A and B are shown apart, each in its own frame.
Chain A
């Protein structure tokens, strides 16, 4: 072994280190040559041969064409060693970003070494071992601090006009005494005093009493969230009831308040059956894990009233006792159901030679799109204002979201993926309403799992403070902002008022399989030309052209002023030149050819070069033996003799 360094220009910029353009060296621990990387969807075991390196943070494969495949250890969800074959020892690595790679290592011992190292490296026991704590993007301290201050919760609430007459900042949780999983600063109704808060929190699972999540200034309506009440249905908690009354009072313009339960009704039915007089108890119900339930004050009384009545069914509410509270059930399943659902979906889609009907029945039986629809339906009922344009523009949503996100890499859950997918569906329906594009969503998803930045580490603000994330790690947002032109939506129309409230259509046919997320690394499945990139490129070009026009105009102006100075004396000459433009074009046209070059990469058509052609195996095999039937599946032809 000559060297243990791999020097690389521009290391994994796209997927692991958004801003590293510097030359860095990686120290590798293990190097195995003659490793084969199989094409996941090839039916004829087409492969690339190359060298596999294992570094402290990444697994790197460089094929014979010098193409690099980087896999961050934190991205690895599962490593599997399959039974030994004649070609070698197969190693399958599944990643959290839905990449699946299939290596064949010639010697079993090497394979075993890689396997063991990966197992060790991909499962960090301590937060301090995560990449974020060793990642150094060469920012100085003040940049690091600035990065963390980019998104400020208090600022977010000020933007919503909170605190105001009805809502105040509470210092009850200053020291995380009331609720560990809530942030320090909480916004509660002005009428709620400390005893009410403390009492209410004792009645709620994990102390998550109702707090303000979002305030809609124009309609003076609020979204609050909390966890389920603890003591079942027999108990009452006066403080909790006071709390809800206080919330109701804090919205003077609305008569009704809606209590929305995100769990499916069938899970509740046994509960309901045991207790008839439900209306007596102010219930905040939510699944223990799904901490996303909200209470909503109605802003569209009549319409929602009807919906709530239908949803709640007969007997669930007693208007005499609680004339201003409505119950709403939305069938969002819990996290475990979601995880299994996604696993099923991915399993089906990984099948070689998948048929259309298998694809659809897989899509159906996984129930994934059903869950996505449920989440979106809930969001729509919750508030037509929830999906407000600028609320989810650049990073803002995360200031709110980070507070209760399960970003711990050890507790993998598709909840966040689902949130991103819902947003994606909205971007598909409202292409002009979002400032960012799909790449932004994918990049965020990437980094939720990459553990490269501190944002998504820890489970709550307290934990994050204990980890000293702000001092020890870097924030993702400045990196995304630095690269923001990559993530901007060229169709975004910020000025228009029409997108303040989106009204998405949730009829099932609007829900599509998000290929760019779940098959983001399976290039052969994607369109070969991207309208999006082309338009983004045109947009950039337009900006440059505008600049050039300005420059040219000022130059011409200069020339003209100079010209008029001289023209007084040289008038006769000027006339001749003006009348004989035929002399000049050659010179001008030469210049035009150098007009802004169009980015060639955008026009490159994958699949049209032989190296990555998916039909080529067919030709090779055809010349071998006499086949009877040819089947062409998954874009790869195969002969069965």
Chain B
């Protein structure tokens, strides 16, 4: 298919662009295969480049022959284009609609994007499981890498290489895979070096109503416990939901068959409930005509912060089991690709200082989200302005980023990255020129040959010039476990994302710059003092030398 077929009108003059907090811009609108471009021809400063894949929904209106298109983006921005001429307007609208809803992944921009920068470090090879495993194998021999899934036959949503207990052979893994939903047998998620406790994750066991059991599964998860130790299974569903799952062939670990494990049920919502929550919240944030009561009741009704609280609470519980109780933890929900990953990744951020660095956080996303098989393609197909209401669309990763932001707010000096880094990840998970978040799992990414055909987000982010924007000037490595407060009074609306397009952040940005100035100035002064001290010391020794030498 040629993009040209979809572009009915490639160019319209005298289009007026309206954006909040910017003066209206008049210019020429151009449609390309992947971008909507508006440039005022006077100078090239006022240019808008919008990825078609960033467009969540469009609306069109007519007043006489003047058409108006309102474009709602996945990054929550809303822009308005006034297009003279009804026909042009209709053509543009239908072209955008077609181009923003391409169903073939290989037509997406990442496959066409040619980077304008030199690739110093290929992001596709920055975070290899083998390299991660090297760290682990230097402290413990109880875990091994298994290549059982190298052709994705045992578990389609797992990566080719997984970490499993050394004492469990591949044959047993194969059996366990048949007992777990989607073949997602328990694998290592995190090893807590401080006390040797581990966090493992899987999908639900297929016990069904007849209470089926699997000896190998029991062996596998018992192998993660030390002698005489007990562990905790954190089920991210309520007991009720877990019980209902048995009717559909799923279920949960029976106490009788797993006597060394305590099961704890926490309820984290999934799917459309989250999507609706996002839609409601964004709607509340966009309506500036609300009075105070209506705003507060809409904020409450969206339930967004309730989800944040549930996820954070469950993550804290897992951390508590590992760090305070000295017990290993198994975490799963139904598929083990959504709430499970939210909990395992947040727990690592709370526990592990390395995950609070930029590299460590990237590695965490690679490990716990991309390789662990979070279906980004499905979940991030639409954002807050979607009308499609598909079951698989859900802001799961977005919620995770919001939770990280909440912790960042409470520990502003313990993270190497700043808020902009999280916002950047949010944007790229929904629409990007990079291939990183394409596909639903490693198997799909392999088939799409993303490594060869697209650029990795990390190749771009990790260049010093880009990285600069994402570095938290307040960062000081903190080796402690950072316990966030999950009280409602401590949780806040993520203004940097939800109010980003609704109010001017001029004064806040200026204050942030001022903060950076103070810190930079401090560094300069420190350096200067050091130089001067050295200089003085040199002069003094010279002096001393001269006095002694005669």
Q: Mark out the residues of chain A between 370 and 426 whose CB falls within 8 Å of any chain B CB in the assembled complex.
A: 370, 373
One of B22-30, B173-181, B200-208, B537-545 at the interface = B537-545
A615 x B510 contact (CB < 8 A): no
| Cα(A603)–Cα(B479), bound, Å | 12
Contact of B313 among A363, A433, A507, A632 (CB under 8 A): A632
A–B pairs, 27, beta carbons within 8 Å = A361-B300, A364-B296, A432-B507, A507-B502, A508-B290, A508-B291, A508-B295, A513-B489, A525-B485, A526-B485, A529-B412, A529-B413, A530-B412, A545-B522, A545-B525, A563-B543, A577-B541, A584-B537, A587-B537, A588-B530, A605-B480, A608-B483, A615-B316, A627-B262, A630-B264, A632-B266, A632-B320
In the complex formed, the residue of B with least CB distance to A432 is B511
Q: From residue A513, how far is it (CB to closest CB) to chain B in Å?
A: 6
Residues in chain A near residue B409, CB distance under 8 A: 527
A275 at the interface (CB under 8 A from B): no
B532 x A553 contact (CB < 8 A): yes
A592 at the interface (CB under 8 A from B): yes
| Cα(A505)–Cα(B21), bound, Å | 13
Q: Mark out the residues of chain B between 524 and 550 whose CB falls within 8 Å of any chain A CB in the assembled complex.
A: 525-526, 528-530, 532-543, 545-546, 549
A524 x B487 contact (CB < 8 A): yes
Residues in chain B near residue A22, CB distance under 8 A: none
| Cα(A560)–Cα(B324), bound, Å | 60
| Cα(A545)–Cα(B529), bound, Å | 7
Contact of B507 among A358, A359, A431, A595 (CB under 8 A): A431
Contact of A566 among B266, B305, B515, B546 (CB under 8 A): B546
User: Size of chain B's interface in residues, with CB distance under 8 A?
Assistant: 87
One of A259-267, A296-304, A536-544 at the interface = A536-544
Contact of B537 among A553, A591, A607, A608 (CB under 8 A): A591
Q: From residue B126, how far is it (CB to closest CB) to chain A in Å?
A: 29
B538 x A358 contact (CB < 8 A): no
One of A11-19, A124-132, A348-356 at the interface = A348-356
Residues in chain B near residue A613, CB distance under 8 A: 324, 483
In the complex formed, the residue of A with least CB distance to B508 is A431
B493 at the interface (CB under 8 A from A): yes
Known: A493-B514, A608-B482, A615-B320. A528 touches B410 (CB 8 A): yes
Residues in chain B near residue A2, CB distance under 8 A: none
A-B residue pair count with CB separations less than 8 angstroms: 254
B324 x A369 contact (CB < 8 A): no
Looking at chain A's contact residues, the main secondary structure is helix
Contact of A549 among B306, B414, B502, B532 (CB under 8 A): B532
Residues in chain B near residue A553, CB distance under 8 A: 532
| Cα(A549)–Cα(B522), bound, Å | 12
Residues in chain A near residue B319, CB distance under 8 A: 615
Known: A364-B296, A535-B518. A515 touches B536 (CB 8 A): no
Residues in chain B near residue A526, CB distance under 8 A: 485, 490
Q: From residue B437, how far is it (CB to closest CB) to chain A in Å?
A: 29
| Cα(A491)–Cα(B519), bound, Å | 12
Known: A538-B522, A549-B528, A592-B530. A491 touches B514 (CB 8 A): yes
Q: From residue A452, how far is it (CB to closest CB) to chain B in Å?
A: 29
Q: From residue A480, how far is it (CB to closest CB) to chain B in Å?
A: 23
Contact of A556 among B308, B316, B481, B536 (CB under 8 A): B536
Interface residues of B (CB under 8 A from A): 239, 262, 264-266, 285, 288, 290-297, 299-300, 303, 305-306, 308-309, 313-314, 316-317, 319-320, 324-325, 409-414, 474, 476, 478, 480-493, 499, 502-504, 507-508, 510-511, 514-515, 518-519, 521-522, 525-526, 528-530, 532-543, 545-546, 549
Looking at chain B's contact residues, the main secondary structure is helix
Could you say which interface size class chain A belongs to? Answer: 35 or more
In the complex formed, the residue of B with least CB distance to A609 is B480
One of A83-91, A139-147, A176-184, A616-624 at the interface = A616-624
B543 x A431 contact (CB < 8 A): no
A432 x B522 contact (CB < 8 A): no
One of A54-62, A99-107, A461-469, A633-641 at the interface = A633-641
User: 6 additional contacts, CB 8 Å, given A552-B535, A555-B536?
Assistant: A508-B294, A515-B490, A546-B525, A548-B529, A556-B539, A626-B262
B542 x A574 contact (CB < 8 A): yes
Interface residues of A (CB under 8 A from B): 41, 349, 354-361, 363-364, 367, 369-370, 373, 429-433, 490-491, 493, 505, 507-513, 515, 519, 524-531, 534-535, 538-539, 541-542, 545-546, 548-549, 552-553, 555-556, 559-560, 562-563, 566, 570, 573-574, 577-578, 581, 583-585, 587-588, 591-592, 595, 603, 605, 607-608, 613-616, 618-619, 622, 626-627, 629-630, 632-635, 637
Interface centre among A511, A534, A541, A615 (most CB of B within 10 A): A615
| Cα(A123)–Cα(B468), bound, Å | 59
Interface centre among A360, A519, A552, A633 (most CB of B within 10 A): A360
B538 x A359 contact (CB < 8 A): no
B486 x A634 contact (CB < 8 A): yes
A511 x B316 contact (CB < 8 A): no
Q: From residue A425, how far is it (CB to closest CB) to chain B in Å?
A: 12
In the complex formed, the residue of B with least CB distance to A506 is B292
| Cα(A370)–Cα(B291), bound, Å | 8
Q: From residue A571, how far is it (CB to closest CB) to chain B in Å?
A: 10
Residues in chain A near residue B541, CB distance under 8 A: 577, 583-584, 587
A560 x B539 contact (CB < 8 A): yes
B325 x A549 contact (CB < 8 A): no
The 4 closest A-B pairs by CB, nearest first: A360-B300, A359-B488, A508-B295, A431-B511
